[in-house]
Amino acid sequence: DIEIPESHPRYRSLLTRHRIEEGVDKGITSKQGLIAEGRGEAFDYLLGERTLPAVDEAERAAAAHLLLAERPVLSVNGNVAALVPGEMVELAEAVGADLEVNLFNRTEERLEAIADHLRDHGAGEVKGLTADGRIPGLDHERAKVDADGIGDADVVLVPLEDGDRAEALAAMGKTEIVIDLNPLSRSAQSAAVPIVDNIMRAIPNVTAHAEDLRDAPREELARIVAEFDPERVLADAETAIRSGPMGDAEADAARTED
Note the residues at the interface with ligand PTJ (CB under 6 A).
30, 32-33, 36-37, 39-40, 43, 77-79, 83, 103-105, 160, 162, 179-182, 185, 198-199
Do residues 52 and 245 lie in contact, with contact meaning Cβ atoms separated by under 8 Å? no
47 in a known ligand binding site: no
- Pairing assessment for the beta strands 126-127 and 133-134 based on DSSP bridges: unpaired
Query: Binding residue per annotation — 77?
Result: no
Closest CA to 60 of 196, 221, 231: 221
Nearest distance in Å: CB 36, ligand PTJ: 4
Q: Which residue number, 109 or 231, has a Cβ lying nearer to ligand PTJ?
A: 109
**Cβ of residue 83: shortest distance to ligand PTJ, in angstroms?**
6
The residues near 235 (Cβ < 8 Å, ≥ 6 apart) are: none
CA 212 to chain centre: 20
- Based on CB atoms, which residue is closest to ligand PTJ, 65 or 110? 110
102 is in an annotated binding site: no
Exposure class string for 36-50: b at 16+ Cβ within 10 A, else e: bbeebbebbebbbbe
Report the residue number, 98 or 221, with the smaller CB distance to ligand PTJ: 98
Whether the CB-CB separation of 221 and 213 falls below 8 Å is answered with yes
Flag whether 218 is marked binding: no
Nearest-approach distance from CB 78 to ligand PTJ, in angstroms: 3
User: Which of 68/156 has CB closer to ligand PTJ?
Assistant: 156
Minimum CB separation of residue 226 from ligand PTJ in Å reads 26
Nearest alpha-carbon partner for 33 in 21, 47, 50: 21
Annotated binding site: 17, 39, 180-182, 186-187, 198-199
Annotated binding site for ATP: 17, 39, 180-182, 186-187, 198-199
